């Protein structure tokens, strides 16, 4: 006998259909990009008429926002899983690259061209901030960066609230930002196919950037 009925069959059906819609949406995004996402096409592929989807999503924008939210969550999960199993900063980097290669358009959905005027809901930026914390923690666990502290380190001393006022010294925060921006640099170029036809292996450039990041 089922005792804790926390959801009615209707609710289950509803969430199931919502999930199916998102599944088709991801498929469509992966093959044609987010700008080509069509509610109508999804509905037809699910065997129902266009307006039916509006029972499940307020519109195209809400669906895309939901996909963005899922993408952020998936990325955060990948980071947490890596950090949870004892990965250091290099481990995080490899987890990020694997996650990105898994679905390039998913990566671009959150790190790609921004739509002017669009602002992500608060809960999304929260997830992003949490991800950043994982990175900063991994940077703090590393041997502190050598070399002389530059102007940016001094500047970061006074502007560290983005890291939740993490107790790490500013060169650590600096390294976290470099980690983020450099890996995003190689990854986005690789995923965009800018290296195809150039001959060299993007994985090795990624590795070289990572080594340079951790080394000194």
Partner DNA sequence: TAATGTTCGTGATAGCTTCTAACTGATTGT
Partner DNA sequence: ACAATCAGTTAGAAGCTATCACGAACATTA
CB of residue 9 to its own copies, shortest distance in Å: 39
In angstroms, the CA 168 to CA 213 distance is: 17
Which one, 11 or 102, has the nearer CB to its own copies? 102
In angstroms, the CA 50 to CA 44 distance is: 7
> Is 59 an interacting residue with respect to its own copies (CB under 8 A)?
no
Q: Is the dihedral of CA 135, 186, 99, 109 positive or negative?
A: positive
**Interaction partner, residue 156 (its own copies, DNA, none; CB < 5-8 Å by kind):** its own copies
Position among 50, 51, 121, 185 found at the interface with its own copies (CB under 8 A): 185
> Is 204 an interacting residue with respect to its own copies (CB under 8 A)?
yes
Q: Yes or no: say if 120 and 110 are a contact pair by the CB < 8 Å rule.
A: no
Q: Yes or no: say if 151 and 99 are a contact pair by the CB < 8 Å rule.
A: no
Determine phi and psi for 101, rounding to 5 degrees. -65, -25
CB of residue 13 to DNA, shortest distance in Å: 7
Site of tokens 């690789």: 190
**Interaction partner, residue 113 (DNA, its own copies, none; CB < 5-8 Å by kind):** its own copies
**Interaction partner, residue 199 (DNA, its own copies, none; CB < 5-8 Å by kind):** its own copies
Structure tokens belonging to residue 127: 């997830």
Report the interface residues with its own copies, using CB under 8 A: 30-35, 105, 108, 111-117, 150-152, 155-156, 159-162, 174, 177-178, 180-186, 188-189, 191-193, 197-201, 204-205, 207-209, 211-212, 216
């Amino acid at each position: 006998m089922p005792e804790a009925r926390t959801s009615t069959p209707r609710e289950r059906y509803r969430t199931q259909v919502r999930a199916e819609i998102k599944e088709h949406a991801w498929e469509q995004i992966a093959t044609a990009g987010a700008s080509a996402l069509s509610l109508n096409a999804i509905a037809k592929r699910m065997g129902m008429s266009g307006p039916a989807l509006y029972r499940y999503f307020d519109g195209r924008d809400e669906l895309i926002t939901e996909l963005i939210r899922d993408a952020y969550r998936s990325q955060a999960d990948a980071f947490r899983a890596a950090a949870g199993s004892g990965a250091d900063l290099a481990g995080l980097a490899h987890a990020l690259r694997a996650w990105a290669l898994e679905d390039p358009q998913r990566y671009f959905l959150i790190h790609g061209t921004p739509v002017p005027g669009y602002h992500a809901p608060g809960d999304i930026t929260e997830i992003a901030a949490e991800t950043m914390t994982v990175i900063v923690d991994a940077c703090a666990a590393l041997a502190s960066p050598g070399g002389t502290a530059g102007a940016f380190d001094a500047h970061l001393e006074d502007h560290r609230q983005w890291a939740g006022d993490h107790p790490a010294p500013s060169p650590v925060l600096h390294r976290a930002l470099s980690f983020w921006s450099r890996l995003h640099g190689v990854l986005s170029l690789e995923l965009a196919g800018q290296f195809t036809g150039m001959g060299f292996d993007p994985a090795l450039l990624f590795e070289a950037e990572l080594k340079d990041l951790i080394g000194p």
